Amino acid sequence: MFARIVKLATVSIFSLIVTPSLAAHCKKAEKSFLAKNLWREISQTWGNVRLPVTLQLCIGNSYFHEIPHGNKIRSALDRRRLRIVLRKEDEILLRHELAHLYLDLRWRPLPYSTSEFLVRTIVSKKECATNFVPLDNETVRRQWIARRELDTCGITYLLKNIFAMEPFSRNLLPIE
């Protein structure tokens, strides 16, 4: 009986001391120095969009059970709850999820196969020619349809043109 009480007390003390340090936590993304800097970098490159003040940055494994197929991923943009979920602090994964959010806000939520392709371009560090001359909507539409044939700089140029379009015209692009 005494051993059982000691065991229960030990477990209780351990959970009071250790569990909080292992627990997942959320904070507003605007309070994260890294998130703010990465967002500023994306906005300066692709066009200014405000970081949503309600966006939460959640770090820890416990949040992944709330996300479909969460046991198979390392990070996610949880659009429903407006939060970015990371298993651990990771600049590359945070940049990737912020790029998804940026694309949602700048254009619209897109199917994963389309958005993932564009997010890779947004987070790319590849230097491309800087002279930007907007293309007409029909040229952008043709390039959009043939986007899988473009290299990284071609996609960068295309995405800049898409962002330069009027929202109505941008939303007429075929999404699959």
**Tell me: the pLDDT tens digits for 103-142?**
999 999 999 989 998 999 999 988 888 788 999 999 999 9
Average pLDDT, the chain: 87
pLDDT of res. 15: 43
Least confident of 67-76, 131-140, 147-156: 67-76
Give the pTM. 0.83
- For tokens 């605007």, what's the residue? 30
Q: Tell me: pLDDT of 94 over 60.
A: yes
What distance in Å separates the CA atoms of residue 47 and residue 37, rounded to the nearest whole number?
A: 15
- For tokens 């569990």, what's the residue? 19
Residues 108-127 as b/e (b if ≥16 CB within 10 A, e otherwise) read eebeeebbeebbebbbeeee
94 Cβ partners below 8 Å, 6+ apart? 34, 35, 38, 57, 75, 84, 86
